[in-house]
Amino acid sequence: MKDTTTNEPQTEAHQTVRLKIGHKDGIRSMQIGFTDQCLTAHGGLALWADFLTRMGFREALRQWLPHQPTSPNAYDPTDTALGLMGGILSGADKLSRAAHLGSDPALAEVLGIEAMPSQSTLSRFLGRFGRGSVEGLSRVHGWALRQAQLAGAEEILDLDSWALVHEDGHQEGVRVGYTRKGLKPCHRPIVAALFGCKLIAHFWLRPGNTACLSGAEPFLEETLARLPAGMRVGLVRADSGFCAERFLRALEGLDQRYIVAVPMRWRVRELCRHEDGAWSPTEVPGLGVQEVRGNSEGRRLIVLRQRIVDRPQGGGRMLLEVPGYKFQALITNLPPSVPPVEVWRRYNGRADIENRIKELGDQYGIKGFCCRSFWATEAACHLAVATYNLCVLFQQRLGQPAKSELRTLRWRLFRRAAVFSRPQGQPTLRLAVRGQDARRWCLRMLAKLRGDPDCDAVETLAARGRLPSFL
């Protein structure tokens, strides 16, 4: 055989390419090359990592993870969890997309972890969870509530259930159930949220063929038991899927005030057909109410009628037998001193939980996290919910007057180009922030995270119109 080896030096492949870029003055060329610098597109997550450190989240999370590596070279399971949460903040909505962030050479340094986990590492990590360890991990939500310092506060607790559609339908717990798209393979979570502080108090994942009401009583008891000491629930609200005698009795047994929507079944529909004299007018144009005694002592059934011409955006259900109106029914144990229209107003705020559910699905990846094991899927969902709660606390720490969605945080703060280096062995991250005013704003924001008492308020400079509104 002829020897084809040679001692001549091998030349490297050409590392630059010229691209043609259209410009108003004509076509220009741009040279595309490569760099070995440690660059990241998510430099703003350094503020997030600093916040978690000051909150002591790593130490708190470690106690709820079931992993006990024995090898000194084993990957720290807390790093894996923090890597997945950092991936969620960066926009990952599947395990494969979270693993793809390993191509960012500085993201692990920014998050303070050893390395971004691969997909196989994430799968093994989540596969370690069983029923008991998932119940332990769910306590992270109670920890977040305690950090919000809600002792002495009175909150409104909202309950809801929805469907997470998974079209392939081969994972554990994915069953055919009712969704807005018809009968589809799905999971059916149940969630409890606090209206005032915007935090998620509790979360369960359930099989897709589960009814809204299944397990609602133990879920409610567990939620109330895990609330911070000294915090009181002044009102529980739920939609018509929770309107059942046993659930109402459970609420009354726990001494809870409640407002629950009532399904428009025939007994309620009979009330909707009453003549105009049965409806009491209100100060709200086009809104009429009537109240009847409930089927148990202390309960009130309130039926509302909204004229579509006056209130085209009003909620409720249209009935063929009574055209021109939308109807809604509520059952409550609030005292008679609370007028029917005030009961309606207090219930209307429950729609805010729909925003939390939509945000968890569209921005925190819950729709895409579906593993072969049911408990692995629930563990991933708990980490996503924990990420949501921490984002709320993060904004409170920065003094945000109103909560922003993750999409806003990501595009205006977390997703900031940066260069990571080690001059003289000192880890350094240089954020791409242009302008002295914007840089001073970032420094003051860091001071807020550190809790410096002498830092200037962000609102002072923003009011002068000199700083960009990052948040």
Q: What is the pLDDT of residues 246-276, one digit of tens each?
A: 999 999 999 999 999 999 988 888 888 888 8
Distance separating alpha carbons of residues 113 and 65, to the nearest angstrom: 16
Q: Is the dihedral of CA 108, 111, 114, 116 positive or negative?
A: negative
Are residue 451 and residue 405 in the same domain, yes or no?
no
What is the reported pLDDT for 439? 81
Q: Is residue 95 part of a domain?
A: yes
Are residue 45 and residue 91 in the same domain, yes or no?
yes
What is the reported pLDDT for 341? 94
Query: Mean pLDDT, to the nearest integer, of 166-194?
Result: 92
Helical (H) or strand (E) element with 317: strand 317-319
Residues 47-106 pLDDT 10s: 999 999 999 999 999 999 998 887 878 889 999 999 999 999 999 999 999 999 999 999
Closest CA relative to residue 28, chosen from 15, 19, 41: 19
Are residue 71 and residue 111 in the same domain, yes or no?
yes
Q: Around 114, how many Cα atoms within 13 Å sit in the side-chain half-sphere?
A: 12
Which 8-state DSSP code applies to residue 207?
B
What is the reported pLDDT for 200? 97
Please tell me the pTM assigned to this model.
0.88
Asked if residue 184 lies in contact with residue 163, where contact means CB atoms within 8 angstroms, the answer is yes
Q: Is residue 120 part of a domain?
A: yes
Q: Is residue 440 part of a domain?
A: yes
**CA-CA-CA-CA dihedral for 343, 348, 353, 354, to nearest 10:** 140
Q: Is residue 214 part of a domain?
A: no
Query: Mean pLDDT, to the nearest integer, of 274-294?
Result: 88
DSSP 3-state of 60: helix
Distance separating alpha carbons of residues 387 and 391, to the nearest angstrom: 6
Are residue 48 and residue 113 in the same domain, yes or no?
yes
| Range in 30-34, 62-66, 258-262, 360-364 the model is least confident about | 30-34
Asked if residue 411 lies in contact with residue 404, where contact means CB atoms within 8 angstroms, the answer is no
What is the reported pLDDT for 452? 62
What is the reported pLDDT for 33? 83
Domain that holds residue 109: 39-125+401-410
Provide the 10 A C-beta neighbour count for residue 131. Answer: 10
Buried b (16+ CB within 10 A) or exposed e, 378-387: bbbbbbbbbb
Provide the 10 A C-beta neighbour count for residue 61. Answer: 20
What is the reported pLDDT for 471? 38
Residues 198-211 pLDDT 10s: 999 999 999 999 99
Q: Is residue 358 part of a domain?
A: no
Are residue 406 and residue 452 in the same domain, yes or no?
no
One-letter amino acid at 444 equals R
Residues 110-120 pLDDT 10s: 999 999 999 99
pLDDT exceeds cutoff 60 at 460: no
Supply 194's token pair. 């606090």
Looking at the chain, the whole-number percentage of residues with pLDDT higher than 70 is: 92
* Angle of helix 245-253 versus helix 216-225 axis, rounded to 10: 20
Query: Mean pLDDT, to the nearest integer, of 231-249?
Result: 94
Q: Is residue 132 part of a domain?
A: no
C-alpha distances out from residue 389 to 11, 51, 213, 406, 436, Å = 53, 13, 25, 11, 32
Which 8-state DSSP code applies to residue 464?
T
Provide the 10 A C-beta neighbour count for residue 167. Answer: 9
Looking at the chain, the whole-number percentage of residues with pLDDT higher than 90 is: 63
What is the reported pLDDT for 465? 41
Q: Is residue 22 part of a domain?
A: no
Residues 6 or more apart whose CB falls under 8 angstroms from that of 289 comprise 279, 280, 282, 302, 303, 304, 305, 340, 341, 344
DSSP letters spanning 427-459: -EEEE---SHHHHHHHHHHHHHHHT-TTPPPHH
C-alpha distances out from residue 390 to 361, 386, 452, Å = 16, 6, 21
Q: Is residue 281 part of a domain?
A: no
Number of domains into which the chain is organized: 2
Supply 160's token pair. 């809801």
Task: List, in sequence order, every beta strand (DSSP E) within 195-286.
Answer: 200-204, 232-238, 258-261, 280-281
